[in-house]
A and B are shown apart, each in its own frame.
Chain A
Amino acid sequence: MTNSANSKGTNGLSRRAVLAGGAALTASLFAPKGLRAADFPTAAVNTTGLAVTDDTVTIGILHSVTGTMAISETGSVQAEKLAIEQINAQGGILGRKIEYVQEDGASDWPTFAEKAKKLLVQDKVASVMGCWTSASRKAVLPVFEQYNGMLYYPTFYEGLEQSPNVIYTGQEATQQIIAGLDWVNKVKGAKSFYLLGSDYIWPRTSNKIARKHIENYMEGCKVVGEEYYPLGHTQFNSVINKIRLKKPDVIYAIVVGGSNVAFYKQLKAAGIDMTKEDPILLTISVTEDEIRGIGGENIDGAYACMKYFQSLDNDNNAEFVAAFKSMWGEDMVIGDVTQAAYLGPWLWKAAVEKAGSFDIDKVREASPGIELPTAPEGYVKVHENHHLWSKTRVGLAKPDGQYEVVYETAELVEPDPFPEGYQ
């Protein structure tokens, strides 16, 4: 493969070859500007009137930068901007620089829907990186389906959804939950579980899956308690007493937001030392981002189960962490969702290049099977159901606010948003 070969190559074969080469992380073999816009006339790559010119393509970023959710969504915005900048530095997509229009969902679900409509109808963006909570995703979904947009959604979530207009770059519930439960059962010998969560759809659905798995697929294991507290609840002493009484092997916690901070501080104050693993605390809702608010010393010894930790030891991740910190500051931490948000623009780029077009329908068709060996979490692949194949990992929280990876699945875990036997 040489540069001259690919400047002639307007046919699909050559493009695919370029892609395969890029995918193998051998970008340095190419001159950075591998694809030239002149080879892809705008009229041919954009038949539906999207915001694509001869030099640029416009996409949307739709997250909350004000309101309650700004705490969580800021990292996603930063990761997406980093990915866009890096793609542009490599010559953009089909020779076009990415420009973005950023809208603020303001932690308010109707605002998300309104801004999504503005991005699709008025700005004609070619894709949208956005949303964080399930509620915001549910709010924009009808808009994306009506106006045929493409949303890259970064958060791990409860599953039970599969839209032709969304690529889910985070894990769905079964991917995140089952591997962690099996690990704690086999490696730590845990038999009894106390399920705990904030009271809304994600923790409830996730605990439902966890309960089914514990009761039906894990021999001799049982759930000794299941409980939900309103969002923003700050007093956990009662439930901590109940946990003492039930003496579970594992506290399975899906507490979110400000409640998280209260829960871990009070757990520690109540004399439950998680480093002693009696009981073991296993969570799926605390990333490095949340630990900054909780304080590393308050969550020392807890285990978290997700697909990405900042401490992952591989070359892709080392590069990603360094680039993220040099763009946004040395004291930044990177959580699971931030990494998933970073995948969005790259997955979209790969799909556009595979399709040889920005048209939403062609991008959608091209998406399944897209591989991203350069992902910080390691190789990922888009499944037919628009979710990602990815590995699941268990991390041990350290006082410095980072996780030490103690386990990872041998194989990629298949996404299964509508798990049979778990509903």
Chain B
Amino acid sequence: MFSEYTASELGAIFAMQGFAGLILFSVFVLMALGLAIIFGQMGVINMAHGEFMILGAYVTYLVSNLFGDLMPALFSGYFFVAMILAFLAAGALGMFVEWALIRHLYKRPLDTLLATWGLSLILQQLYRSIFGAREVGVTIPDWMMGSLPLTDLIEVPINGIFVMVLAVGISAGVYVMMYRSRWGQQVRAINNNRQMADAVGINTALTDRMTFGIGCGVAGVAGSAFTMIGSTGPTAGQQYIVDTFLVVVFGGAGSLLGTIASAFSISQAQSIMEFFLSGSMAKVLTLLTVVGILMLRPQGLFALKLRK
């Protein structure tokens, strides 16, 4: 299939395709980090993860309108404000949900699946009532929408670079919080043995609320970033939920490194296959491979050894 192209064309295409794979990787990491914190560390199956992402997207939409109306001079920079507000809004809603709903279900982890699924339906209808059933168009500053021509053939989308930088930054931030901070130590202690953590004086209730809030906040930032590449509508969160769980479960719940490794392998496999096969077929093969590997290794790629 490549005989009709020159070597430089092929090189350019492979470079761009490799880059497409890296963008997909960053998108997966952003989607999955919030869930990896909540599902991995707390064991809560958060089906409303996508709706928390969309909350971030709607916040971005509101901020972009606000800047467009009131401060057009600063419009090109609104995105950073929007991401911070998205984190705060989604985090605050997450902490509220933990307080009102999730904390009553820690002893029944499977019920969290049903409860958060109900929550996702409620949030979808809420978005529909507030913002309307139609998708909203988020205006992205011009500097973020173009591409950088590296050579005649290779063009790199700027929003792709932005998503990659963001993914690296947030991963680093989560890593530091998880493994280098007192809060992270407490979270891991609770994950290892809740009763013992309680007994040694860790405020498990507060830590849980913080953890859930931060997980949702990260989802909010991801949703804010995805306004550059995807749609913003009441049900748009559903587009992400399957891939998100796929990445987290495949990586091994509870392992941050596992989530990143899994995002990398799934995204590369998918983007390489998409190039040689049709899009639907690539998806089918990716899913089949994941199912196959999970049958052989149910705990996922990287699993923590826990004493239960």
A239 at the binding interface (Cβ < 8 Å)? yes
Determine the residue in chain A with the shortest Cβ distance to B13. Answer: A245
Q: Which B residues are in CB contact (< 8 Å) with A266?
A: 157, 229
Q: Are A235's CB and B27's CB within 8 A?
A: yes
A270 lies within 8 A of chain B by Cβ: yes
B157 touches A238 (CB 8 A): no
Q: Which residue of B lies closest to A290 (CB)?
A: B135
- With a cutoff of 8 Å between Cβ atoms, the chain B residues found around residue A241 in the complex are 13, 16-17, 20, 275
What B residues does A74 contact at CB under 8 A?
132-134
Q: Which of B160, B271, B282 contacts A269 (CB 8 A)?
A: B160
A229→B135 contact, CB < 8 A:
no
Can you list, as one digit per residue, whether each of B126-142 has a CB less than 8 Å from chain A (1) or not (0)?
A: 00100011111111100
Contact call B134/A232, Cβ cutoff below 8 A:
no
A294 at the binding interface (Cβ < 8 Å): yes
- Interface residue stretch chosen among A60-68, A211-219, A404-412: A60-68
Contact with B along A216-256 (1 / 0, CB 8 A): 00000000001111101111011111101100000000000
Known: A230-B280, A234-B239, A269-B159. A242 touches B275 (CB 8 A): yes
- Identify which of A239, A262, A270 contacts B279 (C-beta below 8 A): A239
Q: Measured between alpha carbons, how far is A237 from B164 in the docked complex, in Å?
A: 14
Cross-chain contact B233 with A71 (CB below 8 angstroms): yes
Closest B residue, CB atoms, query A271:
B147
> How many residues of chain A get a CB closer than 8 Å to chain B's CBs?
46
A-side interface mostly: helix
Given contacts A66-B125, A270-B157, A271-B157, contact A293 B146 (CB under 8 A): no
Q: Are A227 and B145 in contact (CB under 8 A)?
A: no
Please measure, in the bound complex, the distance between the C-alpha atom of A199 and the C-alpha atom of B277, giving whole angstroms: 14
Give complex CA distance A140, B122 in Å.
Answer: 28
Instruction: Give complex CA distance A74, B158 in Å.
Output: 35
Give the most central of B5, B135, B160, B233: most A CB within 10 Å: B135
A278-302 Cβ-contact flags toward B at 8 Å (1 or 0): 0000000000010111111110000
Q: How far is the CA of A259 from the CA of B278 in the complex (A)?
A: 16
User: Mask for B254-296, Cβ within 8 A of A = 1, else 0?
Assistant: 0000000000000000010011001110110000000000000
Please tell me the number of chain B residues within 8 Å of chain A, measured between CB atoms.
Answer: 52
- CB <8 Å contact, A265 and B228: yes
Q: CB-CB < 8 A to B128: which residues of A?
A: 66, 70
Residues of chain B lying within 8 A (CB to CB) of residue A260: 231
**Which residue of chain B lies nearest to A229 when distances are taken between CB atoms in the complex?**
B279
Q: How far is the CB of B8 from chain A (nearest CB, A)?
A: 12
* Inter-subunit contact A269/B275 (CB<8 Å): no
Q: A70-B128, A233-B279, A238-B17 are in contact. Are A269 and B235 (CB under 8 A)?
A: no
CB neighbours (8 Å) of A68 from chain B are 235, 238
- Contact with B271, one of A227, A233, A238, A292 (Cβ below 8 angstroms): A238
Task: Determine if B5 and A245 form an interchain contact, defined as CB atoms under 8 angstroms apart.
Answer: yes
> How far apart sit A66 and B234, CA to CA, in the bound complex (Å)?
10
Determine the residue in chain B with the shortest Cβ distance to A262: B230
- Hey, which chain A residues are within 8 Å of B9, CB to CB? 245
B235-262 Cβ-contact flags toward A at 8 Å (1 or 0): 1101110000000000000000000000
Q: A237-B23, A241-B20, A297-B139 given as contacts; is B229 within 8 A of A269 (CB)? A: yes
Chain B nearest CB from A204 CB (Å) reads 10
Can you show 10 pairs from A to B with CB atoms below 8 A apart? A70-B128, A233-B283, A235-B27, A258-B231, A261-B232, A269-B147, A292-B134, A292-B137, A295-B139, A298-B145
Q: Footprint of A on B, CB under 8 Å?
A: 5, 9, 13, 16-17, 19-20, 23-24, 27, 125, 128, 132-140, 145-147, 149, 153, 155, 157-160, 226, 228-236, 238-240, 271, 274-275, 278-280, 282-283
- With A258-B236, A269-B229, A295-B137 known, 6 other A-B pairs at CB within 8 A are A71-B135, A74-B133, A237-B23, A261-B230, A262-B229, A269-B147
